[in-house]
Amino acid sequence: MPYDKDPHDPWGKDSDVEDDYSPPLEKQFDNAKASAAASLSYRPHSRAELKLKLRDKGFDSALAARALDRLEELGMLSDAQFAETFARSKWRQARWAPSRIRMELLRRGLAKADIETGLHAVFGSNLNSVTLCPPDAEECDLDDAVHEPERLDRQLLEAGPSKHLSKGQIHFADVDA
């Protein structure tokens, strides 16, 4: 038995072969690229989100950056396109204002230029004059929505301080008796 160091170790557990085998660099690159592409097939992601996902899966940051660069070359990854998709989604479904969308995209790690490109594609050049009603809406009564906080404040002021407290008070009278 010239290859075994210990004749009592029939499976070679204590041999000089390393247990933590790592595949060649090109194989890791292909795996990182495939993992990022699989994530993109479920929903759009920003470059920063994908880099974090790849790091969480154990890929080296340089390898992850190289894989993401390749996906950008292939046209599968674009932060400007992600910003546009995200802004369109949040505007249509949740009615987020452009400023809120901008803050969320900054939090997600997008560059300001990509954010502005995406917002411009969705809202056009008049980002500051965006209303709550979509352009194709037949009827939209903004008066109620705009004046609702003022109306509530007026009602609370007219009711006086006792009404402010009565909403939040817990009555313990019947517990003490």
Say yes or no to pLDDT of 116 above 80. Answer: yes
The answer on pLDDT for 155 being more than 50 is yes
Residue 26 has pLDDT above 60, yes or no: yes
Is the pLDDT higher at 163 or at 7?
7
| pLDDT value for 41 | 95
Task: Give the DSSP per-residue string, the chain.
Answer: --S-S-TT-TT-TTSSS-SS----HHHHHHHHHHHHHHHHHHS---HHHHHHHHHHTT--HHHHHHHHHHHHHTTS--HHHHHHHHHHHHHHHH---HHHHHHHHHHTT--HHHHHHHHHHHHTT-GGG--SS-TT-S---HHHHHHHHHHHHHHHHHH-HHHHHHHH----HHHH-
- Name the residue type at position 163: K
Quote the pLDDT of residue 24.
Answer: 86
pLDDT reading at 49 higher than 50: yes
pLDDT at 127 over 60: yes
DSSP 8-35: T-TT-TTSSS-SS----HHHHHHHHHHH
**Residue 39: what residue type?**
S
Q: CA 1: distance to chain centroid?
A: 58
Where residue 124 falls among pLDDT bands split at 50, 70, 90? Answer: confident
Q: How confident is the model at residue 48 (pLDDT cuts 50, 70, 90)?
A: very high
Nearest to 39 by CA among 47, 83, 80, 109: 47
Q: Are 77 and 69 in contact (CB under 8 A)?
A: no
Whether 133 has a pLDDT exceeding 60, the answer reads: no
Half-sphere exposure of 150 (CA within 13 A, CB side): 5
pLDDT classification of 125: cutoffs 50, 70, 90: confident
The pLDDT score that the predictor gives to residue 161 is 58
According to the model, what pLDDT value does residue 142 have?
46
Mean pLDDT of 88-96: 92
At residue 82, the pLDDT reads 97
Q: Given the structure tokens 């390393």, which residue do they identify?
A: 18
